[in-house]
Structures are given as structure tokens and as C-alpha cells.
């Protein structure tokens, strides 16, 4: 399958979705075009030099889809949040100029414990109002389903100029 054929298949599947609902693309890896630094959402961090390791076919499909309908969210994983060799953390949420949000859900390990020894499970969380993405976060829940921590990545009613300092810290719930 060629790059263009793969992009066409992705776009055709997405454009077959109910137009009354917000369109969310789910991919194993994210698209190319989100940055070439190791800490970019799809940046290569496991060997130098850092580069854009996103999927080109997904990037082409996103362009095709947006010509016909809005695309508020692309969700993917594969690129772990913690970078190799102690290089820090990967950017796990961003929005492009067209308004599409990209959420990397690859929190590894997904199971862990907090400083109090409580077992936690990671989930990525999004909320929509109509067709608009209004919230995105990483959340850590206890085994009984109680929310213990939230890392807020996006909130539609926030006006933030520059990096959101809350995106780098956990908010106890």
C-alpha cells in the first residue's frame, strides 16, 4: 500500500463517520508535522539525532479530512511521555493553527503508586460541548474508581498566554 493509498483509506473511514458527532481520529502513532525535537509529540528520542517520527499518511489524511469537515481531535499513543536517557517529558497535548488538538495517551507505565502508596491507573480524558473540545487531561484513578490526580492539558475557558504552568504539575483531587 502506498503512502497516498493509506492516507486515502484513513480519510475515507473518517469521512464515513456520523457528521452530527465530533470526529475523533484514533491512531497507534500520531501524524508527522508536530515537531522534530525529541520532546515533540512524535519526536524521536531513542537515538540521535532527534527528528519527526510521526506518520506521514496520517498527516496527509488529516489535511484531506479537514477539507470536508472539522476535525477537533486526534488521539494516539506509541510515543511514551517519559523521554529516553533522562531527557525529560514529551509534550502530550498541542493544537495546530486549524484548531485540531493532538493528544498523546502513552503514559508508561499506566499502573503505578503515588507517594502515599495508593495504587493508581492512568487514563486520558477529554470532554466535548457539542462539536467543540472543551477539556483534555491525564487522570490517575484509584482501584475503586476515585480520581486522585489530574494533569490538566487544555480547558476551553482558560486564557493562557505562553506555556500553561499547570500542564507540568499534578493537581490533587
Q: Report pLDDT digits (tens) over 52-64.
A: 999 999 999 999 9
Over residues 43-94, the pLDDT tens digits come to 888 889 998 999 999 999 999 999 999 999 999 988 777 677 777 888 899 9
Q: How confident is the model at residue 38 (pLDDT cuts 50, 70, 90)?
A: confident
More confident residue, 95 or 159: 95
Q: How confident is the model at residue 148 (pLDDT cuts 50, 70, 90)?
A: very high
What b/e sequence results for 126-146 when a residue is b if at least 16 CB atoms lie within 10 Å of its CB, and e otherwise? beeeeeebebbbbbbbeeeee
Distance CA 169, CA 75 (A): 21
Q: How confident is the model at residue 158 (pLDDT cuts 50, 70, 90)?
A: confident
Instruction: Please tell me the pTM assigned to this model.
Output: 0.87
Least trusted range by pLDDT, from 138-142, 146-150, 157-161: 157-161
Percent of the chain exceeding pLDDT 90 equals: 69
Distance CA 103, CA 109 (A): 17
Q: Are strands 73-76 and 24-26 parallel, antiparallel or unpaired?
A: parallel
pLDDT score of 162 more than 90? no
Distance CA 51, CA 9 (A): 26
SS (H, E, C) the chain: CCHHHHHHHHHHHHHCCCCCCCCEEECCCCECCCCCCCCCCCECCCCCCCCECCEHHHHHHHHHHHCCCCCCEEEECCCCCECHHHCCECCCEEECCCCCEEEECCCCCCEEECCCCCEEEEEEEEEEECCEEEEEEEEEECCCCCEEEEEEEEECCCCCCCCCHHHHCCEEC
Q: What is the pLDDT of residue 159?
A: 54
Amino acid at each position: 500500500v502506498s503512502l497516498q493509498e493509506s492516507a486515502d483509506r484513513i480519510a475515507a473511514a473518517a469521512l464515513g463517520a456520523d457528521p452530527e458527532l465530533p470526529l475523533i481520529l484514533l491512531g497507534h502513532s500520531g501524524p508527522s508535522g508536530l515537531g522534530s525535537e525529541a520532546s515533540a509529540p512524535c519526536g524521536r528520542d531513542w537515538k540521535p539525532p532527534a527528528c519527526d517520527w510521526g506518520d506521514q499518511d496520517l498527516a496527509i489524511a488529516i489535511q484531506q479530512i479537514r477539507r470536508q469537515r472539522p476535525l477537533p481531535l486526534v488521539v494516539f499513543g506509541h510515543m511514551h511521555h517519559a523521554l529516553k536517557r533522562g531527557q525529560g517529558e514529551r509534550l502530550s497535548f498541542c493544537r495546530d493553527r486549524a484548531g485540531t488538538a493532538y493528544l498523546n495517551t502513552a503514559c508508561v507505565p499506566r499502573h503505578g503508586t503515588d507517594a502515599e502508596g495508593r495504587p493508581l491507573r492512568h487514563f486520558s480524558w477529554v470532554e466535548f460541548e457539542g462539536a467543540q473540545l472543551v477539556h483534555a487531561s491525564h487522570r490517575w484513578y484509584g482501584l475503586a474508581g476515585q480520581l486522585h490526580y489530574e494533569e490538566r492539558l487544555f480547558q476551553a475557558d482558560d486564557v493562557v498566554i505562553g506555556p500553561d504552568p499547570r500542564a507540568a504539575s499534578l493537581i490533587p483531587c
